[in-house]
Structure 1
């Protein structure tokens, strides 16, 4: 599974020269990263990029499911969320370097579309992201306020299913009424 992921990781390393230099100090060492069922293994090259390697890793970093969940939620994993095996110093250095990798979408957009278009796309994407966050916060606040109101009904699943069933019946009744009105209108004009 390592080979398909190496170009992606190396692209990230290329976008982060400081982390690339930090990794280059460990040229010749082999690392393995295990996360969410994926295994990435590579030898650190002289330039700090990962190369294909089939030898036993000098260090292995295992991100437990709790670490993956925290990362996806935008939080930092804790000490118990990551296991380091083998060369502890190498593992900690690689963990720090990989933790410092940041993706710069603007850089890739500029390469593909030119800097002016990339800036425009980036601004629009940021505006859309900001709007989506505001909508999400607004909905969360409204739900929170509704739940705090003393008269707000908290219903069980059976009551909710009954209510949804009534809504379906009302929708069917409205559809039948519209069909009758359409027939009546046609009869009047004939």
Structure 2
């Protein structure tokens, strides 16, 4: 078995309800790509992913930058952060399941160290990563601010709201003008007819 496939199934094993959802799609070939890692296979009757030589019927690609930005913004990546191809319904269902998978290292540690030891190690790791995570979050915020304000690759929310409001006003004004012109033409048409 491919190492990435084994890892996917290992994480999937921590979620029996998601495996049950996948089991409903038994026999279908799917692929998940999170560059540079990709996994593909056929869904088994038990809800696992098994190696398959055939082409996937549906592929779910995670947009790395969008997913990373979502994580830093404190939200779970959603369908906007995914590219679906192939059978749309299959891709959507598989993407829904794959999007909920999160590796729970404390589950693996508890098998080795017991529950108390696993939670202690998790607390220690969170404390160690806490400072680094805070620095990384601040760097990401600065980078996003730079892209939005200094190099306008991202639109400022306020500017987008003003633009949308201006477009709405223009549309309403154009509709009023069309109605006024129609009334004037109707009045002109009535006045020019011989009596």
Q: 1:37 to 1:104 in 2, by over 3 A?
A: closer
Structure 2 portions without partners, runs of 5+? 143-195
Give the Å deviation of 1:72: 6.1
Task: Report what 2:39 is aligned to.
Answer: 40
Give the Å deviation of 1:10: 0.4
Q: Give distance in 2, aligned partners of 1:68 and 1:13.
A: 20
Q: Give distance in 2, aligned partners of 1:95 and 1:79.
A: 8
Task: Report what 1:155 is aligned to.
Answer: none
Task: Report what 2:98 is aligned to.
Answer: 98
Structure 1 portions without partners, runs of 5+? 144-190
Q: 1:62 to 1:132 in 2, by over 3 A?
A: closer
Q: TM-score, normalised by structure 2?
A: 0.60
- Verify the 8 A CA contact 2:4 2:38 in the aligned structure 1: no
Q: What is the CA deviation profile of residues 15-74 of structure 1, one whole-angstrom value per residue up to 9, with x for unaligned ones?
A: 111211111110110001223143321111111111000112111122334335436646
Pairwise mapping of residues 16-95 of structure 1 onto structure 2 (< 5 A)? 16-70=15-69, 73=72, 75-77=75-77, 81-95=81-95
Equivalenced residues, count: 138
Q: State the secondary structure of the residue aligned to 2:2.
A: helix
Q: State the secondary structure of the residue aligned to 2:60.
A: strand
- Verify the 8 A CA contact 1:12 1:102 in the aligned structure 2: yes
Tell me the C-alpha RMSD between the 2 structures: 2.8
Q: TM-score, normalised by structure 1?
A: 0.61
- Verify the 8 A CA contact 1:35 1:68 in the aligned structure 2: no
Q: Give distance in 2, aligned partners of 1:104 and 1:77.
A: 17
Q: What is the CA deviation profile of residues 112-170 of structure 1, one whole-angstrom value per residue up to 9, with x for unaligned ones?
A: 12223212212222333345556x39x88xx9xxxxxxxxxxxxxxxxxxxxxxxxxxx
